[in-house]
Amino acid sequence: MDTQQEKEEIFKKHLKAYEKRLVAFIDLQGFKDEIIKNHSSYSIGVVFSIFEYLRKLIKNDEWDLKVTIISDSIVISAKLQTYDDFLYFFYVCSAFAVPKIDDSFVAVRGGIAYGDLHHEDQIVFGPALVDAYDISEGKRKSDLLRIRMSKDTFDFLSNFCESKGILKAIVFPENNNKDFYFFNSWLYYFALKIISADSSDALLTGKSIKTIIDDLYRYYLWCNDNLEKYNDNIKLYNKYYYLLIDIIYSAQTIEKIYKSLVSAESVSILDKILSCLKKSKRDKKL
């Protein structure tokens, strides 16, 4: 292919009208200071190698879903045509929601929006991305370490899913005003198995229930370690405190609703989280 032909092919890809797409902007927290200072380039490289491996797997699959990695941020988008498109979007969000460096995790914060977007190869832009970024990192951002969406996006997804029921099992109102909602990646796999037995088998692959609960417990311990570490820093302490609330709520929900899916060994792990809740003075605020 000559230079002019190659240029024309590139222009054909990107000089197009926007599509309506669901998009998530996910930002890994702590890269400006803590992670760069405390981890080797090898350790950080492992995380992004896993991300790139996942991105290539997604690129080669049958779904109309795209992933772009921009420094310490990840953009995921999907053109919603079927119910499985919706499920697969949140499946991929779950895969990127709990990254790990060495023996510790990395918190994420993100925004989800629906609207006009161009996403092709590594080029992504459009009003929907601006909205998702604004909810994650802009004027509408929260100090809470969550993947969030506006009420408008939640209402759109509710209508799209009709009576399927899964949305309310994985996305929860952030406050009584219900102006923002947040996605719980821990509960996604459980809700999928119970509510969406009619979905594609491909969506049920990946982590086992035991692995998810093991990770949940390690994440719980990591949050507690950060609460001790940042005991004198109110802003950071509050971030991990509310992240801990989400983890404990996840454990409570799994034990209450999804216990039939969980082995006796994993139930004992959930009980460890909940017994720590009862003993901790801090947890009285819950």
pLDDT category at 61 given cuts 50, 70, 90 is low
Q: Which of 59-63, 183-187, 251-255, 279-283 is predicted with the least confidence, judged by mean pLDDT?
A: 279-283
* 158 HSE (CA, 13 A, CB side): 12
Structure tokens at 256: 């209450």
Report the pLDDT value the prediction gives residue 36, as an integer from 0 to 100: 64
Give the span between the Cα atoms of 215 and 106, in whole angstroms. 13
> Phi/psi at 133 (nearest 5 deg)?
-65, -40
Report the pLDDT value the prediction gives residue 60, as an integer from 0 to 100: 65
Does the pLDDT of residue 127 top 60, yes or no? yes
Does the pLDDT of residue 237 top 90, yes or no? yes
- How far, CA to CA in Å, does 160 sit from each of 56, 68, 86, 164, 165? 28, 25, 9, 9, 11
Give me the DSSP letters along the chain. --HHHHHHHHHHHHSS--EEEEEEEEEETTTTTHHHHHS-HHHHHHHHHHHHHHHHHHHTSSS-EEEEEETTEEEEEE---SHHHHHHHHHHHHHHHS-EETTEE--EEEEEEEEEEEEETTEEESHHHHHHHHHHHSTT--SS-SEEEEHHHHHHHHHHHTT---HHHHEEESSTT-SEEEE-HHHHHHHHHHH-TTS-GGGG-SS-HHHHHHHHHHHHHHHHHHHHHTTT-HHHHHHHHHHHHHHHHHHHHHHHHSGGGS-HHHHHHHHHHHHHHHH-SGGGG-
Does the pLDDT of residue 153 top 90, yes or no? yes
Q: What is the mean pLDDT of residues 149-153?
A: 96
Q: What is the mean pLDDT of residues 17-22?
A: 93
Does the pLDDT of residue 284 top 50, yes or no? no
Report the pLDDT value the prediction gives residue 113, as an integer from 0 to 100: 98
73 or 278, which is more confident: 73
pLDDT tens-digit map of 154-202: 999 999 987 677 898 999 999 888 899 999 999 998 888 777 555 555 5
**Total length of the chain:** 286
Report the pLDDT value the prediction gives residue 203, as an integer from 0 to 100: 55
pTM: 0.87
Q: What is the mean pLDDT of residues 243-261?
A: 92
pLDDT category at 8 given cuts 50, 70, 90 is low
